[in-house]
Amino acid sequence: MSLLLEGKRAFISGGTRGLGAAMCEVFAREGADVAFSYNARDDLAEAVAEKIRAHGRRAHADKVSVTDRVGMKRLVRHLVEEWGGVDVLVNNAAVNKPDNFATTTDRSWDDVIDTNVNSLFAVTKPIYKQMIRQRKGAILNITSVGAIRALPTSVHYATSKAAMIGFTKCLSREAANFGVSVNAIAAGIFDTDLAHTLPDRLIQMHEFWVSKGRMGRPEELAEFAAFMVSDRNSFMNGEIVIIDGGAVT
């Protein structure tokens, strides 16, 4: 059987850490050339790029903010010129801040909403437009169970991730006309830097209310993500798939 993503060209936002880094490696292992954005750490970017190349695939790392609309258009133009286009987009980059709503500052609110919501427009639009032209593509958005359940996480983070669900469902209707699928994964708590911004009490409670009794490993989500954006997942559209270790609801 052929690899899940044989010959695909993928772009993953936030590719140097956690879920993003895991998806970069798994997608490359499954046959995709992988481009990714990152915000700060050149050393981490090079390490991820080396893992992609180790699977015999092309890698492209770009230090660009996911809220930089001009920078994202430039990046997509480069990928179209060099690779011929993008077949897979994963909107993964996100931030969280451990705030109570009563003490959330204007800056904290704006930072989270800008990174997690406004980036959906900046990153998705230029890639989506070229997917329309090629009449094929798969978009996967990484949202959170915090957008669905009343968990003790930050209000601005839950709000931003709920916005991503609306984005997924509405865009999926339009995109289907052009052979493009749009789905999302609602992630539970995975062992990433982002998870460790959550309140300590939530981390401590986690093993009791999740039937798996542990945090998820990033590669566990990445394996399913690879299937979701593959041609074998040909009839799913506008869906939000929960991967949370079996949380009690």
| pLDDT tens-digit map of 100-157 | 899 999 999 999 999 999 999 999 999 999 999 999 999 999 999 989 988 777 899 9
| pLDDT tens-digit map of 87-99 | 999 999 999 888 8
Residue for token digits 């880094």? 21
- C-alpha closest to that of 148 among 213, 215, 242: 242
Of the residues 11, 38, 157, 167, only one is catalytic, namely 157
How far does CA 112 lie from the centroid of its chain?
15
Task: Report pLDDT for 1.
Answer: 64
pLDDT reading at 197 higher than 80: no
Task: Report pLDDT for 163.
Answer: 98
Residues 6 or more apart whose CB falls under 8 angstroms from that of 207 comprise: 213, 214
pLDDT reading at 248 higher than 70: no
Structural domains of the chain sorted by starting position, each given as residue range(s) with its CATH number in brackets: 9-243 (3.40.50.720)
Which residue did the predictor score with more confidence, 191 or 116? 116
| pLDDT tens-digit map of 200-223 | 777 777 777 888 988 899 999 999
| pLDDT tens-digit map of 171-186 | 999 999 999 999 999 9
Q: What percentage of residues in the chain have a pLDDT greater than 70? A: 98
Name the token pair of 32.
């995709």
pLDDT reading at 7 higher than 70: yes
128 as an active site residue: the answer is no
CB 206 within 8 A of CB 215: yes
Rounded-to-integer distance, Cα 54 and Cα 56, Å: 5
**pTM attached to this predicted model:** 0.94
